[in-house]
Amino acid sequence: MRGSEIKAALHSGRRIYGIAVEGYSQPRWPRNFAQYDLDFVFIDTEHTPQERQTLSWAAQAYAANNIAPFVRIAEPSPTLAAQCLDFGAQGVIVPYVETVEQVKGMVGAVKYRPLKGAALRAVLDEGHFPNVETEEYLEHYNAEAVLIIMIESPEGVKNLPAMLADGKVDGVLLGPHDFSVSHGIPEQIEHPVFEAAFKEVIAICKANQVGVGIHYTSGGMQLQEKWIEWGCNLIVHLTDTIFVARGIADSLSALRKKFGDDVADVDADKIGLSGHAV
């Protein structure tokens, strides 16, 4: 899918499916993943030590295979967001968003680049463009650009209605690890406090016709199925790292065990919400 198609799906409530990618320097993965009808990949730069040239290559390779590349930047930075879009990303995922001002800055970078300075502030504050030609140009120039914000705290939940009010955010993604920790219930994703807050996020997004989802990293599939039944349509399923770990556990370890060789006592399903072994 293209970014423009993703935007339409998110706002209409149609489900889209993708995976998170940490090892995005793998040259075979874009073409191979395209066989499995992935709509997008969530390319992480918040927690992975990759550099910009590799990131640019990966974004363009996935886009060339009709998989929309979304890049999670390291912080709510308009500069980082614009850089990602300039080198080939079709969407930006912004971590730990809590304020209207943060969203406004991201909207400026994602929806109105390359407009900057006083001209950009006039658009963001007053909806005033230099002229109609510029407004139409910016709409065309940023047609594929998707803006997804991550809600990971009680403050983010509280301010979410105001953050979505201008209609420029395309999707909201819950980060379950940080969300649970900031609510005082670390990694307890079936705790009533977690579920109540998550349902509130879903309701707010639905009321504003904005896509909503959660990054599923651990637990049984029934968890993800439940969240979809609640109304999630932005489906981020595991990571490449977890898929590899489970493949080793399910296949290679089973082979060793069959022939009586030593097998590490590791349960791949025990990978924590952070995406790392616990």
Q: Out of 3.20.190.10, 3.40.630.10, 2.60.120.10, 3.20.20.60, which CATH number does the structure's domain 3-240 have?
A: 3.20.20.60
pLDDT digits (tens, 9 = 90+) for 220-229: 889 999 999 9
* The pLDDT value given to residue 3: 96
pLDDT digits (tens, 9 = 90+) for 228-272: 999 999 999 999 988 888 888 888 888 888 899 887 766 655 555
The set of residues, in sequence order, having a beta carbon less than 8 Å from that of 245 and lying 6+ positions away, is 268, 271, 277
* The pLDDT value given to residue 107: 98
* The pLDDT value given to residue 263: 79
DSSP tally for the chain: helices H, then strands E: 13, 8
Which member of 11, 47, 183, 215 is catalytic?
A: 47
* The pLDDT value given to residue 270: 58
Do 91 and 145 form a contact (C-beta atoms < 8 A)? Answer: yes
Write down the H helix ranges in the chain.
3-12, 29-34, 52-64, 78-86, 100-111, 117-126, 132-141, 154-163, 176-182, 192-207, 221-230, 240-247, 253-258
Distance in angstroms (rounded) separating the CA atoms of residues 147 and 138 = 15
* The pLDDT value given to residue 272: 56
Distance in angstroms (rounded) separating the CA atoms of residues 278 and 35 = 32
Write down the H helix ranges in 67-116.
78-86, 100-111
- Domain boundaries in the chain? 3-240
Report field, pTM of the whole predicted structure over 0.85? yes
Q: What residue ranges of the chain have pLDDT lower than 50?
A: none
* The pLDDT value given to residue 267: 60
Is 128 annotated as catalytic? no
